[in-house]
Structure 1
Amino acid sequence: MTDLLIVGAGILGLSHAYAAARRGLKVRVFERTATPLGASVRNFGQALVTGQPPGEMLDLAKASRGIWAHWSRQAGFELKSNGSLLFARTALEQELLEAFCAERAVEHGYKVELLSGAALNDLYGGQFRHHRAALRGLDDQQLYSREAIPTLVRFLQQELDVQFHFSTLVRDIEPGKVSTTAGEFSARQIVVCSGHDYQTLLAEPIAKLQPQVCRLQMLRARPRFNLNLQHALLTGLSCVHYGAFADLPQAQALKAQLLSDSPHLMKHGIHLLISPTPHGELIIGDSHAYGSDAAPFNAEQVDNWMIELAEHTLGGRIEVVERWQGVYGSGGRGPFSLLQVAPGISAALMHSGVGMSVGPALAERHIARLFNENA
């Protein structure tokens, strides 16, 4: 008999599959599409420790870091582990980063360093000297999701004997059994990792969380100049969004300044992220629009604002080669939910865009609890 049935082959589903299979449990995973196509492959691939708020999320991100490193070695996908760079473009952003390094980073063990002057100018041959400072997040990692996720699937199949059923819709669930388009299957435990699909399965208990969907505008681009980028990049704009910084007094002052000087960025939730791919390209974004559904219509002006921010941050022109919509689950009563819906039936849902950062360790915790281990 199968020990665990998982619905969804995104990062939460795959993390649960790994956590169970490495314990010697028999695992099956069901995914409605032929390959994962949701949030886990539409993102930046940034597994950020630095941006997580102190406490549970920071602990999960730190624990997930080692799991990603193990997966990279065992499955054979590229993982950049030389950290991130968060640029301060203004005096207020620099003041915020200085305050973070002097107090919170020390108190909570963030591995960071602040670069300015000659240290900043030495980065990439002086390419970023037009910024005031850079916070280097030494624990941050980055991967190319659309290649890494399928590679992880193959690793789970070939090395840990996880059984995958792609192009298979799970129609219904009851304790110990799922009904799918490929037939009925039984297991001791069932975990639903359905991403932002709140209607197909467990609709009533999920609705009590008042979840939303966040829609993002994303780009893939080539730099029109010589840039062999090896770090994930952010700017001070992210400091008003990420929990590591957002409650600092300097972040409140920065938010007020942005509302005054750049209200269009705040209105559309634009804060620049840039991730290099293994092919010399850059993933660039993003904007944030929240609602019960992800509208299919992109605004060209939003893309133009992001391109302008990217070109200023990079110090050179870019050529856009691809555009798409990112999407992830939002709302809820916290950054994630682990619901025990019925005996042997649970759901694992992210309500923020940090599933890549915390998902591996979150699944370890959840599997330990479901199979009565001392977590």
Structure 2
Amino acid sequence: MGRAGMTMSKILSDKTYDVVVVGGGIVGLASAYAAVKKGLSVAVVERQSQNKDASVRNFGFVTVSGQRRGKHWQRAMHSRNVWAEIAPKAGIQVEHIGLHMLMQRPEAVDVAQAFLKTEMGEGCRLLTQSEINEAAPYLNKGEGVLYSPHELRIESNTAIAKLTHWLQETQSVDFYNHTTVTSVELPKVHTSRGVLNAEHCVVCPGADFTSLYPNVFAKTKAKMCTLNMMRVMPKKTFKLNAAVMSDLSFARYDGFAQLPEATVLKSLLDDIQSAERQAGVHLIVVQSEDGSLIIGDSHDYSDRDYRLETLELMI
């Protein structure tokens, strides 16, 4: 029987941990890894057999360029470096590296040039036409391409399981799946299967803002965000050498959009692509090992529990 099986059969109160993490999504797993690196004993409590929520449904796109300037960007770069370190150890394949941002309009070129003058532009550059023809011939119709070397693309629907397995087998993290935390009264962590003992508890509940500490989440004014994306198989297979974004991304991501030079581009797109802007639609394209492309996405902050067909048509 594997370690996961042994963990499931244990009496929960038979061991005291330094840290109990609530939630086995990427934030929970990252918290577990950070605690392990400090030499702490860790348990992760996950209500499902394994996390099946946003952590496994997104692009699997570890992105840096475009993240908000300052601490947000620095955190993104640190996270990227952690992924680059852990991925080979956990058997997580990196499908492609880097980002190509197609500049469709002169106004986007102005934003890219301003970005390159900031600390966020370190390592990034504008590609020459010959470089575009060689590395991204599918992007040769436009004003140019901004290249960022930082981004990583992994398969999110398999990466979480592999990362969980790696933490179990090599980092001595205990996982209690099919288990719901009902309350936290340290040193007691009460669950649907009994009690765990811990000095610290890190709550990473994903989209569940009501089960634990609802008042805390209410004060943060956290909102649900639903994304639409699609997977397509090109009629003619080709290799995507890096993730792809375009002008709408320059206008959406704060690392670009908050630059003074982005004002003109945002105003232009508000005029000619108002529906996309209002729906939070911008272009991201990444590729999987089988050659299929994941294309998106939109951002819906309403409480509706259904998808709008108009959003899918925009994408």
TM-score, normalization by structure 2: 0.91
Deviation >3 Å, runs of 4+: none
Moved more, 30-39 or 74-83: 74-83
Q: Distance in 1 between matches of 2:283 and 2:213?
A: 35
Identity, in percent, stands at: 33
Aligned to 2:13: none
Say whether residues 1:42 and 2:57 are aligned partners: yes
Match of 2:134 among 113, 122, 127: 122
Match of 1:222 among 204, 223, 233: 233
Q: CA deviation at 1:250?
A: 2.8
Aligned to 1:78: 93
Aligned to 2:306: 297
Query: 2:290 aligns to what SS in structure 1?
Result: coil
Residues 130 and 96 of structure 1: CA distance in aligned 2, closer, same or farther (over 3 Å): same
Aligned to 2:182: 171
Q: Distance in 1 between matches of 2:84 and 2:134?
A: 28
Which stretches in structure 2 are left out of the alignment for 5+ residues? Answer: 1-15
Q: Distance in 2 between matches of 1:245 and 1:81?
A: 23
Q: CA deviation at 1:121?
A: 2.1
Aligned to 1:55: 70
Match of 2:143 among 132, 155, 180: 132
AA at the equivalent of 1:288:
H
Aligned to 1:182: 193
Say whether residues 1:145 and 2:150 are aligned partners: no
TM-score, normalization by structure 1: 0.77
Say whether residues 1:231 and 2:266 are aligned partners: no
Q: CA deviation at 1:2?
A: 0.9
Q: CA deviation at 1:192?
A: 0.1
Query: 2:223 aligns to what SS in structure 1?
Result: strand
Match of 1:14 among 19, 29, 34: 29
Aligned to 1:65: 80
Q: What is the number of residues matched between the two proteins?
A: 300
Query: 1:136 aligns to what SS in structure 2?
Result: strand
Q: Distance in 2 between matches of 1:95 and 1:228?
A: 29
AA at the equivalent of 2:274:
P
Deviations 1:16-38 (A, max 9, x none): 11111233321111111112112
AA at the equivalent of 1:265:
E
Deviations 1:294-335 (A, max 9, x none): x221122221221xxxxxxxxxxxxxxxxxxxxxxxxxxxxx
Aligned to 2:4: none
AA at the equivalent of 1:300:
E
Is the Cα–Cα contact under 8 Å of residues 25 and 206 in structure 2 kept in the other structure?
A: yes
Aligned to 2:224: 213
Q: CA deviation at 1:139?
A: 1.4
Say whether residues 1:197 and 2:212 are aligned partners: no
Which stretches in structure 1 are left out of the alignment for 5+ residues? Answer: 307-375
Is the Cα–Cα contact under 8 Å of residues 65 and 120 in structure 2 kept in the other structure?
A: no
Aligned to 1:111: 123
AA at the equivalent of 2:250:
C
Q: CA deviation at 1:163?
A: 0.8
Moved more, 152-161 or 30-39: 30-39
Higher strand content, 1 or 2:
1
RMSD of aligned residue pairs (Cα, Å): 1.5
Moved more, 42-51 or 77-86: 77-86
Q: CA deviation at 1:117?
A: 2.3
